[in-house]
């Protein structure tokens, strides 16, 4: 077993009374409970002065622990690949990247190479010993924009805690179907879709999910929105916009599907939409507390060229030129009794979009 430099942790008073494995999961949230339990069993977690412990050992607050953090063996199976990265900021602690549409963040079935993780292993080899190569949140393959990666275990733990505490500032730009007439807040829990296992849905027993949206520009058939996340659930903006009955343009999963009223539009707009090829969603701004300095830092990037072109095509159509055959915008006071029932939720980290 690979040995690493041990880290020292002090059990906070507010975790007093918990089992050791439970307290460790609070302190090292980037690691699974089963992994932490295995480290304890292997003698990689000790109380100071050195004494053996078990997963069920009670902690009372104030104890000092030595933890031999072990790299995840599956991360070492991934190969470093020379994939260009649009780096917005980098130091010895964190890396902020402007991810292009089409780049998968983490290897999975069907995408074992050519991912952001593979690129990170080449760009910053130090991340090979971190869980998920320092990745603390994700964007969908076809969502573009800002994403932060940790380069040390301390930075990764800090960023995960900030995400859990909802103090990371995340702002998106979205282009949706329909004319949204006022700003709003969507507070609807999200969980697995009961029948389509790759989809998410409004689920009364899902995880809390809150999205704020603001109208930036309204067009004949569409609306340009600013979206701010208070939580980071898988497909959050996409699911919430579908619930609003203003789904994202180009969304192959939560979009309009076969009812897209292309025939109602001028040819230039129809062609632009048909050639767009992804959901119109971009993570434009990211703000967080730097894990080492404690300073609040914020980054902002421009819209990608494809979304700029889409907006320009929409601006060419007078607002009263297109007569839609149906309404898009929904009632935000819909009763959750009609929502999907309880179902198995994601075990993995939520994505931010």
160 within 8 A of 30, measured Cβ to Cβ:
yes
Reported CATH class of domain 75-164? alpha beta
Q: What is the pLDDT of residue 16?
A: 85
Tell me whether strands 190-192 and 222-229 are parallel, antiparallel or unpaired.
unpaired
**pLDDT higher than threshold 60 for residue 337:** no
**pLDDT higher than threshold 50 for residue 352:** no
The two domains 75-164 and 169-338 share their CATH topology (first three levels equal): yes
Query: What's the first-to-final CA gap in the chain, in angstroms?
Result: 37
pLDDT in tens, 22-42: 888 888 877 777 778 888 888
The mean pLDDT of the chain is: 84
Q: What is the pLDDT of residue 330?
A: 40
- Catalytic residue list: 140
Which pair of structure tokens corresponds to residue 184?
A: 């709003």
Q: How far apart are CA 103 and CA 115, in angstroms?
A: 6
Q: What is the pLDDT of residue 291?
A: 96
Q: What is the pLDDT of residue 171?
A: 96
pTM for the model stands at 0.74
Fold of 7-67: 3.10.290
Residue boundaries of the structural domains of the chain: 7-67, 75-164, 169-338
- For 169-338, CATH gives 3.30.2350.10
pLDDT in tens, 222-244: 999 999 999 889 899 999 999 99
Confidence bin at 129 (pLDDT 50/70/90) = confident
Q: What is the pLDDT of residue 85?
A: 97
Q: What is the pLDDT of residue 1?
A: 45
Mean pLDDT, range 41-68, rounded to an integer: 83
Mean pLDDT, range 170-180, rounded to an integer: 95
Q: How far apart are CA 124 and CA 301, in angstroms?
A: 22
From the number of C-beta atoms within 10 Å of its C-beta (0-12, 13-18, 19+), residue 215 rates as middle
Mean pLDDT, range 149-171, rounded to an integer: 92
Q: Kindly provide the residue ranges of all beta strands, DSSP E only, lying in the chain, ordered along the sequence.
A: 7-10, 45-47, 64-67, 87-90, 94-99, 144-150, 169-177, 184-187, 190-192, 200-202, 210-218, 222-229, 281-289, 296-300
């Amino acid at each position: 077993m690979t040995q690493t430099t041990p880290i020292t942790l002090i059990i906070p008073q507010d975790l007093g009374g918990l089992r050791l494995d439970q307290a460790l999961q609070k302190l090292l949230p980037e690691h699974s409970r089963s992994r932490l339990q295995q480290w304890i069993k292997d003698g990689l977690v000790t109380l100071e002065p050195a004494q053996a412990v078990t997963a069920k050992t009670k902690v009372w607050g104030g104890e000092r622990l030595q933890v031999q953090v072990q790299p995840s063996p599956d991360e070492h199976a991934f190969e470093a690949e020379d994939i260009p990265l649009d780096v917005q900021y980098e130091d010895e602690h964190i890396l902020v990247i402007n991810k292009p549409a089409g780049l998968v963040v983490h290897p999975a079935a069907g995408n074992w190479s050519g991912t952001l993780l593979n690129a990170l292993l080449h760009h910053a080899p130090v991340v090979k010993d971190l869980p998920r190569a320092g990745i603390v949140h994700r964007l969908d393959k076809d969502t573009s924009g800002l994403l932060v990666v940790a380069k040390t275990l301390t930075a990764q733990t800090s960023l995960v805690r900030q995400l859990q505490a909802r103090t990371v500032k995340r702002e998106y730009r979205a282009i949706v179907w329909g004319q949204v007439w006022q700003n709003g807040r969507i507070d609807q829990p999200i969980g697995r879709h009961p029948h389509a296992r790759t989809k998410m849905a409004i689920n009364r027993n899902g995880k809390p999910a809150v999205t704020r949206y603001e109208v930036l520009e309204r067009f004949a058939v569409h609306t340009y929105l600013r979206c701010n996340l208070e939580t980071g659930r898988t497909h959050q903006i996409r699911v919430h916009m579908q619930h609003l009955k203003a789904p994202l343009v180009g969304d192959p999963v939560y979009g309009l599907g076969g009812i897209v009223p292309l025939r109602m539009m001028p040819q230039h707009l129809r062609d632009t939409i048909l050639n767009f090829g992804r959901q119109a969603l971009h993570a434009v701004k990211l703000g967080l507390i730097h894990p080492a300095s404690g300073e609040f830092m914020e980054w902002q990037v421009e819209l990608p060229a494809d979304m700029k072109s889409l907006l320009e095509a929409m601006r060419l159509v007078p607002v009263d030129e297109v007569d839609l055959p149906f309404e898009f915008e929904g009632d935000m006071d819909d009763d959750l009794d009609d929502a999907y029932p309880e179902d198995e939720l994601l075990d993995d980290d939520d994505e931010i979009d």
